[in-house]
Amino acid sequence: MTRSALKAVADDLDIPYYKAVGDECELFEHAFRHRLPLLLKGPTGCGKTRFVSHMAARLGRPLYTVSCHDDLTAADLTGRYLLKGGDTVWADGPLTRAVREGAVCYLDEVVEARKDVTVVLHPLTDDRRLLPLDRTGELLEAPDDFMLVASYNPGYQNVLKTLKPSTRQRFLAIEFDFPAPEDEAVIVARESGLPEGRVAPLVRLAGALRALKGQDLEEGVSTRLLVYCATLIRSGVKPERAIRTALIEPLTDDADVRQALLRVADIALG
Ligand SMILES: Nc1ncnc2c1ncn2[C@@H]1O[C@H](COP(=O)(O)OP(=O)(O)OP(=O)(O)O)[C@@H](O)[C@H]1O
Ligand SMILES: [Mg+2]
């Protein structure tokens, strides 16, 4: 193997594993190249976070992730003065750091952030790409390799928790869903180490459980839970026990719904 081929393999090993399920990797690269912010929408555990870490590594950019919640303040994103041994020193927040370094800043569950916080993103997400730091008097211009990515789960139907149109219309948006069964089997096998032949029935079962979503279940079983289930089986837990622990109990607390899910599992696994 040539030195450059070896390097390519080594680089590949450093990059978090992500199996593309459509053209999302290309779209991300286009967005990065043209300095456009990107919003990822999709159910819990379908691969959004893994996708962002994969793409940041692939593009050779550091990644700063912020999990948004309703106590998050603008200063948590941009930075604040801290007392240090009698002095006050400015400490950049993750957004400011990402702008200074030309990194990817990933705002997870961005709808959880208050609207006055998301407004901080506005000058950064139009063609000015500016981050004003009122406290320090700085006006930072984002370098070409800075990118803002946000994600949320539109499934939790909470009318109060949507983005302002003026915020959401600043982002390109890609919709994520659970991978097709062939892809999901490859992903779960790779993540858990369980052979694909043993993963396939679990993926089939996930499909049957997902079909119940909306009736008694808020969310269908995620790829993440499938990975957990396969990991338990790989480590020696009996499949029925692993399925109950990883694919049934996490979905519901309701005894009737649980019984129904267990019946679905019996039928799906034959
Ligand atoms: N396309 C994929 N390639 C590789 N792994 C995947 C893929 N999709 C899902 N996974 C697996 O599923 C797990 C959960 O995915 P991830 O944490 O990215 O979900 P998420 O969409 O960010 O969920 P949440 O909204 O709850 O944060 C990953 O740790 C990984 O094991
Ligand atoms: Mg995530």
Output the residue whose Cα is nearest ligand 1's atom 1.
19
Output the residue whose Cα is nearest ligand 1's atom 12.
224
Share of residues in the chain with pLDDT > 90 (%)? 74
Mutate to test the pocket of ligand 1, among 19, 50, 63 (most ligand atoms within 8 A of CB): 50
**Which amino acid, residue 23?**
D
Query: What is the band of 5 on the pLDDT scale with cuts at 50, 70, 90?
Result: low
Report residues near ion ligand 2: CB below 5 Å.
49
Residue 158 scores a pLDDT above 60 = no
Helix-then-strand count for the chain, H and E: 12, 9
| Ligand in closest contact with the CA of 222 | 1
Query: What is the band of 149 on the pLDDT scale with cuts at 50, 70, 90?
Result: very high
Query: What is the band of 213 on the pLDDT scale with cuts at 50, 70, 90?
Result: confident
pTM over 0.85: yes
Taking the domains of the chain in order of start, what are their residue ranges?
Answer: 3-175, 181-269
From the CB of 46, is ligand 1 less than 6 Å away? yes
Q: What is the pLDDT of residue 104?
A: 98
Across all residues in the chain, what is the average pLDDT?
Answer: 91
Report d(CA 154, CA 3) in Å as an integer.
Answer: 46
Share of residues in the chain with pLDDT > 70 (%)? 93
- 153 against 186, higher pLDDT: 186
8-12, 21-25, 188-192: which range is least confident on average?
8-12
- Both structure tokens of 95: 């957004």
Query: 217: which DSSP letter?
Result: B
User: Given the CA of residue 52, which atom of ligand 1 is nearest to it?
Assistant: 18
Beta carbons of 156 and 218 less than 8 angstroms apart: yes
Architecture of domain 3-175: 3-Layer(aba) Sandwich (3.40)
How much distance in Å is there from the Cα of 266 to the middle of ligand 1?
A: 26
Q: What is the pLDDT of residue 258?
A: 92
* Burial track 152-173 (b if 16+ CB lie within 10 A, e otherwise): bbeeeeeeeeebeeebbebbee
Report d(CA 102, CA 61) in Å as an integer.
Answer: 7
Output the residue whose Cα is nearest ligand 1's atom 10.
47
Segment 26-42 shows an average pLDDT of: 97
Query: What is the band of 270 on the pLDDT scale with cuts at 50, 70, 90?
Result: confident
- 5 against 248, higher pLDDT: 248
Residue 51 scores a pLDDT above 80 = yes
Q: What is the pLDDT of residue 180?
A: 96
How much distance in Å is there from the Cα of 81 to the middle of ligand 1?
A: 36
Residue 246 scores a pLDDT above 80 = yes
CA distances from 186 to 21, 169, 172, 182 (A): 11, 35, 29, 7
Beta carbons of 47 and 176 less than 8 angstroms apart: yes
